[in-house]
Amino acid sequence: MINRQSERIRKLQEDVQEFVEKEMMPVESELLKIPFNEAAVVLQEKRSLAKSRGLFVPHLPGSYGGLGLSLLEFASISETLARTPFGHYVLNCQAPDIGNMELLIKHAPEAIKKAYLEPLMQGGIRSCFSMTEPSFAGSNPVSMATTAEFKGDKIIINGHKWFTTAADGASFAIVMAITDPDATAYQRASMVLVPTDTEGFHLKRNIPIMGETGEGYHSHAEIIYENCSVPAGNLIGARGSGFKLAQERLGPGRIHHCMRWVGICERAFDMMCHRAATRSLSDEEKLGHKQTIQNWIAESRVEIDASRMLVLAAAEKIDRFGSREAKNDISGIKFYVANVLMRVLDRALQTHGALGMTDDTLLSFWYRHERGARIYDGPDEVHKSALARSILKGYGLKPK
């Protein structure tokens, strides 16, 4: 697949890599040591630089000011950006904004595009996606209690959401809510855009994650919607299409996640190899002379390469045939790459010894923030079960 990349994409990848290495890596450690709202000042300067170099919003169609990349093409760029914690953010292609942009482009009314999509694409505002609820298993998305009731020309939202990533400081949320409780399971919910300054929108707290509460973009919020009234025109897509739109959003979203994880793996692998080659155990022996370390390096190299090829193959299938035809591939990469990520991070951290536990390297940051990879966007167990059922169906096993 890499050999089939056009000269344009190869050049773009080189430009992005240069930007990451020269502009982001030198400042990443310091930015992680200060509150996000302080780091945002520096990040805004980097965003302006990315715009001037023609690197901003690479995922968007050319008609919307982007580079018009296919999912397969963007996947390779995404891996490069992931080698630094703020890579995606400075190019304005970070989750959840990237998924919300794609959703609004395809399904939002023109007035919503003008008011919210345009400033979001330009990097003037941020957004969030509000779906998970504390009282229901996230692995069963049809179970939710948040409601969106149509009353005349208004929609009234009531409910309790949590793990709404980046809600702190966001200008709007896209909320999944029940609009038609008597409809069939996958036609009960709709998506509604709710500005965060709407009366009744209460950001209850940023949820502490592994001891780190965070703020701004680096946070996960618990939100109460209490009689939030928004115009009926804030409905995204058709009424009752919430789950259809969510699935449409999740297919490419899992490609984004997985290639970001591959990029993190590559950076952690590089750190592990450097440590193994330079850390002295005695005058004549380096850490890398130990067979266990050599095994970790060999296993990590092959697992990362396998992950990349699996994700690129899935991205290509989505580009050609759509997410429905690639559902098995999407399930496969989601749990496989998430586990490779955790194994590589753990090996890299162990290779660094006590240093790996500190915030003097990026490893502890990623170890805290990426453990959720095996949970969000569907836990490993759900994806494994879905993939196995699909395979067994071809052998004649009927569902229970």
pTM of the model: 0.94
Q: Which residues of 271-294 are buried (b: 16+ CB within 10 A; e: fewer)?
A: bbbebbeebeeeeeeebbeeeebe
Is residue 5 within 8 Å of residue 72, measured between CB atoms? Answer: no
Please identify, among 105, 138, 171, the residue that sits at the C-terminal boundary of a domain.
105
pLDDT at 241: 96
Burial degree of 150 (CB within 10 A; 0-12, 13-18, 19+): middle
Give the number of other Cβ atoms within 10 Å of residue 145's Cβ.
12
CATH of the domain at 135: 2.40.110.10
User: How many domains does the chain contain in total?
Assistant: 3
Exposure on the CB side of residue 250, measured as CA atoms within 13 A: 20
Tens of pLDDT, residues 308-334: 999 999 999 999 999 999 999 999 999
Please determine, for residue 2, whether its predicted confidence score (pLDDT) is greater than 60.
no
pLDDT at 73: 95
Tens of pLDDT, residues 239-279: 999 999 998 888 889 999 999 999 999 999 999 999 999 99
The answer to whether residues 184 and 100 belong to one domain is no
Spatial CA neighbour of 126 closest among 102, 95, 86? 95
CATH of the domain at 48: 1.10.540.10
The tokens of 281 are what? 């155990």
The answer to whether residues 155 and 260 belong to one domain is no
Could you say which DSSP state residue 20 is in?
I
Phi, psi of 220 (to 5 degrees): -135, 120
Burial degree of 15 (CB within 10 A; 0-12, 13-18, 19+): middle
Domain membership flag for residue 15: yes
Domain membership flag for residue 113: no
Domain membership flag for residue 112: no
Average pLDDT over residues 122-151: 92
**Amino acid sitting at position 290:** K
Domain that holds residue 337: 243-393
